[in-house]
Amino acid sequence: MPDGRHDLPTDHVLAEAARAGSSRAFAELVGRHQSAVRAFLRRVCRDEHEADDLAQEAFLTAWTKLGTLKPEASARSWLCGLAWRKAMTAQRGRARSAARDRQWLDTRPQFDTPAARDQIAVRRALETLPDDQRAVVALCLAADWSHAEAAEALGLPLGTVKSHAARGRAKLLEAMGETP
């Protein structure tokens, strides 16, 4: 008896249908990947609401740029790549927002427990990482993506992604008082 999973259309089939004008196919494609895109942006951005807004913008852009999704490419990586570019554009254009976000992080209540202190240390360490390195850490260490998947999504060479992951991991371990 089939479990129903084998009957589902592939991302490529959905993308083709969406290119032909099927909003239902596009909605299915978004439904499959919105959690990954939003989780990625929430790790990369400093504000969850901004991350959700950027995810929406990325999906709107995806609808208009479906023709750029290559048949052999991963839809998830392509969508996260669009989201990454949206995040970088927003960061460059929103200096005041970044200052407001940093102020919020500094003034939020902090609970005096080892787990809370570790979480705060990790967040602060993430903020010190360069943007590309933070994105790699968010994908490879926090979301368990392969280096190749992260390289494809971020448009970075594989070696750079591996280097960013290693350096980011070392920085996070250092922030938690551990030796890499």
* Helix axis angle, 75-93 to 48-64, nearest 10°: 120
What is the CATH T-level fold of the domain 109-180, as seen in this structure? Arc Repressor Mutant, subunit A (1.10.10)
The tens digit of pLDDT for each residue in 118-163 reads 677 778 878 888 899 989 988 988 888 999 999 999 999 999 999 9
Which residue has better confidence, 174 or 145? 145
Tell me the domain boundaries of the chain. Answer: 7-94, 109-180
pLDDT at 76: 93
Arithmetic mean of pLDDT, 60-66: 94
The tens digit of pLDDT for each residue in 30-43 reads 999 999 999 999 99
Q: In terms of Cα–Cα distance, which of 53, 55, 66, 57 is closest to 25?
A: 66
pLDDT at 108: 67
pLDDT at 164: 93
The correct answer on CATH 1.10.1740.10 for the domain covering 7-94 is yes
pTM of the shown model: 0.60
Res 51 pLDDT > 50: yes
Q: How many CA atoms lie within 13 A of 32 on its CB side?
A: 19
